[in-house]
Amino acid sequence: MPIANGFLLPTEIPDEKFFDLSVGLCRSCAMVQLTNVLNRDQLFHDSYAFFSSTSEGMKRHFKEMAASLTARYLENSEPLVVEIGSNDGIFLSNFIGTNVRVLGVEPSANVAAVAVSKGVRTVSKFFDEQLASKVVNEDGKADLIVGANVLCHIPYLNSVFAGVRTLLKTQGALVFEDPYVGDIIKKTSYDQIYDEHAFYFSILAVSAVCSRHDLEVFDVEPQTVHGGSMRYHIGIRGARPVSIAVSALMEQERSAGLDRLETFETFRKNVENSRTELLSILQKLKAEGARISGYGATSKSTTVLNYCGIGTNYIEFICDTTPGKQGRLTPGSHIPVVPYGAFAEKYPEYAVLFAWNHSNEILAKEVNFKNAGGRFITYVPAVGILK
Ligand code: SAH
Ligand code: TYD
């Protein structure tokens, strides 16, 4: 596989890097994880391609999250919220003008700069145990630590949890959410598997990590975003009552077999079938002379395109609203990424919905494409052409 967010210029093709992508299940703690991870500086740097605020739906999601966590955890007079992986400030910008003190920790300097320009105090560093001690020295301990779609990106997870333990106030909470392995299995959303996603969390696995750091999960809340995510509320062991939702989810995971290898062997077969079905639709449409584009040059699409062997043989271009991806080629498959206008000016007959996790938002706004006879092709939770 190439680097999932490694959108490149044609001149960079000869130097493009590839690596082996494979996933393993830990038989003792049920963690699902990559067996081979890349160096963090190769993935997160000053030209990081993903800007969180490209989705209106996610802006709303984080606004609601800020309101819900404020009511639950921020009663002190000048509480401190530290966010790990704060990107362009999509979450923390909701606290501007309030009594809440915020600190974003965001190593990718270009996205961190956008947050700073919005007035979100941000340090462009990787969060780990050492950084957490530095924050305690300079800002004191945190009432709330938040991480959205980031803890699963951090292979040195024990250092992160040790840092959380150092940084949290006695009654403080770490609230984090990531794509949920239960949904990945159920929906065969294998495109969540790529270099940046070192972990595919379950509560069984998250609880095992917590137990190594004097922490415990005291609540869980399923989320619909990113194809199905889980929000974990974590505190210092014994500090807060544990909701029955925690043991209920553990029970559910055991009965779904999320701690057993057979479950993942079935998943593998489902993934292979998904590839066969997607290729057969594309081949059929192509044989009929249809024009097919992609919609959303997601990191996830890198896995699908390279795993299925889809390139410009099937897909003319992929439109994406992120300026930094436009004018470049998709990693490995080398499909041109174009601005949204190129899609709207001359609609193709079909568009593969690579940003399927934002399908509500996209289907609602693509009325003209639909009225022009355009159809979306999807592959999650099943391969097909959307009605
Ligand atoms: N929280 C945002 C961004 C998710 S993308 C959202 O949900 O939309 C993951 C982000 O985590 C990237 O911006 C990346 O630069 C950052 N990141 C990666 N490793 C990190 C680390 N060790 N500490 C803090 N942020 C990290
Ligand atoms: P996303 O699915 O959030 O993330 P990932 O890269 O982690 O798989 O990425 C959404 C991508 O789709 C992003 O590059 C912006 C693009 N996009 C559009 O082009 N149009 C849209 O309407 C939306 C919602 C996203």
The pLDDT tens digits of the residues spanning 328-351 come to: 999 999 999 999 999 999 999 999
Q: What is the pLDDT of residue 44?
A: 93
pLDDT in tens, 58-100: 999 999 999 999 999 998 889 999 999 999 999 999 999 999 9
- Taking the CA of residue 108 as reference, the ligand 1 atom at the shortest distance is 15
Give the rounded percent of residues in the chain with a pLDDT score beyond 70.
Answer: 100
What's the mean pLDDT in 142-147? 98
Q: How far are the Cα atoms of 50, 127, 128, 201, 254 from residue 40, in angstroms, in the given order? A: 15, 12, 12, 19, 33
Cβ of residue 206 lying under 6 Å from some atom of ligand 1: no
Phi first, then psi, for residue 103 (nearest 5°) are -140, 120
Q: From the CB of 200, is ligand 1 less than 6 Å away?
A: no
Classify strands 199-200 and 101-105 as parallel, antiparallel or unpaired. unpaired
Helical axes 157-167 vs 203-211, angle rounded to 10°: 60
Question: Given ligand 1 and candidates 135, 146, 153, which is best to mutate, with the most ligand atoms within 8 Å of its CB?
Answer: 153
pLDDT beyond 90 at 127? yes
Kindly report the number of other CB atoms within 10 A of residue 264's CB atom: 17
Average pLDDT over residues 360-371: 96
The Cα 243–Cα 231 span in angstroms is: 13
Measure the CA–CA gap between 214 and 237, rounded to whole angstroms. 6
- Average per-residue pLDDT in the chain? 97
Task: Flag whether pLDDT at 105 surpasses 90.
Answer: yes
pLDDT over threshold 90, residue 130: yes
Grouping H, G, I as helix, E, B as strand and the rest as coil, residue 179 is strand
Question: Token pair 């007959």 is at which residue?
Answer: 349
pLDDT at 387 over 90: no
Identify the band that residue 113 occupies on the pLDDT scale cut at 50, 70 and 90: very high
Task: Give the ligand 2 atom nearest the CA of 325.
Answer: 14
The pLDDT score that the predictor gives to residue 330 is 98
Tokens read off for 98: 């309030």
Ligand 1 pocket member 149 (CB < 6 A): yes
Closest residue to atom 1 of ligand 2, CA basis: 298
Which residues form the pocket of ligand 2, taking CB atoms under 6 Å from any ligand atom?
50, 54-55, 296-300, 320-322, 355, 357-358, 361-362
Does residue 106's CB lie within 6 angstroms of at least one atom of ligand 1?
Answer: yes
Span from the CA of 98 to the centroid of ligand 2 (angstroms): 30
Question: What gap in Å lies between CA 94 and CA 84, rounded to an integer?
Answer: 15
Rounded mean pLDDT, 350-379: 96
Gap between the Cα atoms of 98 and 85, Å rounded:
21
The answer to whether 215 and 274 have CB atoms below 8 angstroms apart is no
Centroid of ligand 1 to alpha carbon of 100 (angstroms): 21
Encoded amino acid at 83, one letter: E
Token pair of 85 as six digits? 């992986």
CA dist 323 and 86 (Å) reads 20
Q: Measuring from atom 3 of ligand 1, which residue has the nearest CA?
A: 87
Alpha-helix runs per DSSP H in 16-144 = 40-43, 56-73, 109-117, 129-139
Q: What angle do CA 47, 51, 55 make, to 5 degrees?
A: 160
- 97 C-alpha to ligand 2 centroid (Å): 29
Buried b (16+ CB within 10 A) or exposed e, 89-120: bbbbbbbeeeebbbbbbbbbbbbbebbbeeeb
Please answer whether residues 21 and 34 qualify as being in contact, where contact means their C-beta atoms are separated by less than 8 angstroms.
yes
User: Which tokens belong to 230?
Assistant: 């889980």
Q: Which residues contact 179 (CB under 8 A, 6 or more apart)?
A: 149, 152, 189, 192, 197, 200, 226, 227, 228, 229
Percent of all residues in the chain with a pLDDT value above 90, rounded to a whole number: 97
Predicted TM-score (pTM) of the model is 0.95
The residue whose two tokens read 């975003």 is 225
Over residues 268-296, the mean pLDDT reads: 98
End-to-end CA distance of the chain: 32
Pocket mutation for ligand 2, best pick of 48, 51, 53, 55 (most atoms within 8 Å of C-beta): 55
153 within ligand 1 shell (Cβ under 6 A) = yes
Q: What is the pLDDT of residues 196-235, one digit of tens each?
A: 999 999 999 999 999 999 999 999 999 999 999 999 999 9
CA separation (Å) from 363 to 89, 348, 370? 26, 16, 9
pLDDT interval class at 49 (50, 70, 90): confident
Q: Whose CA is closest to atom 14 on ligand 1?
A: 85
Q: What is the pLDDT of residue 385?
A: 97
Q: Is 177 in the pocket of ligand 1 (CB under 6 A)?
A: no
Phi first, then psi, for residue 174 (nearest 5°) are -100, 125
CA nearest ligand 1 atom 8, residue: 52
Residue 89: its pLDDT value, please?
98
In short, whether 3's Cβ falls inside 6 Å of ligand 1 is no
pLDDT of residue 76: 84
Average pLDDT (101-119) is 98
Give the CB-side neighbour count of residue 353, counting CA atoms within 13 A.
25
Residue 170 phi/psi, 5-degree rounding, is: -55, -40
What is the three-class DSSP state of 168?
Answer: strand
Given ligand 2 and candidates 44, 321, 337, 365, which is best to mutate, with the most ligand atoms within 8 Å of its CB? 321
